[in-house]
Structure 1
């Protein structure tokens, strides 16, 4: 199995934190995005960043920066599509995505997504609480073979990840939330304070 490329999704506008790049916020003295890189990087063969706006502001990371190819901030599916187009150019058959604001993502995310892939090659991470399973739609394994289908879906107005992945029978890799939710993400100042306490 060819190792997937990794794509960190940082294309959001962080409106609940006053705007700007959430990945630059520090937790435990280090930017969130550095923590994501530490965890995702060893699991993939290379990493790129999906981000919009001035690309030079990410130059210190030394990563390819992939802006959305579809205007209007249509959401994370546009970031996935940018990653799939990049992988197609390099000949890689799939990518794994992770959000830029999740400092505790699992160190075994990629192998477990690969094992969970559905018939189309798609898989999403998920967590379980009691009898309920909660997909984590910004953490997934995405096959390049579906990129034209995804492009058409976004053009037709699809914005929610699960609306598209459900049509393609995505598998689920289910992760425990104890002692720590590995997909804890920073959306508010309160979340940032909580992440600080957890480091």
Structure 2
């Protein structure tokens, strides 16, 4: 092996770590900007300044539309790049629970923590989709995946006895209701509009989820 080849092999992991750190900083800066100022009010330059990198480094991570979508994915599930929410490790940890009470508390924690981090970004996604085709397409896919993941989650809650039994024909209708109770829009209404604290929101979920009906 030549000296140059050895240097390249040695430095590659360092470059990868630096690239990953830059990406993390860019996504977090984008998330903060979009949550506070929306899509139009957040520029690539402002993201770069917040992240402490160049605009070229921001562009290398992705377009402004991609950054909004990835910022939501990262904040909601604690990690980005998931195709289905069910692929996120945080969701898998919850669905691995087999005790009813632990399962309910795990679901509540997942929702409360995820919405606290990302509800403002979901609002920004909804608004931006009205005029930005790439975001509209991404949002439509997120909604589709959300429906799939909540059907799995609803069946899991049925299996654990968190939800009362229903006929197979009613499972999708029940899924829709669970989705409604668990939605970011519901969180925003209770917490942002009516001033629920985090614990009040969790207590509301604790009371409401087990009595959801089709």
TM-score of the alignment, normalized to the shorter chain, above 0.5? no
Answer 1 or 2: which has greater helix percent. Answer: 2
Answer 1 or 2: which has greater strand percent. Answer: 1
TM-score w.r.t. length of structure 1: 0.30
Higher RCO (C-alpha under 8 Å, 6+ residues apart):
1
TM-score w.r.t. length of structure 2: 0.29
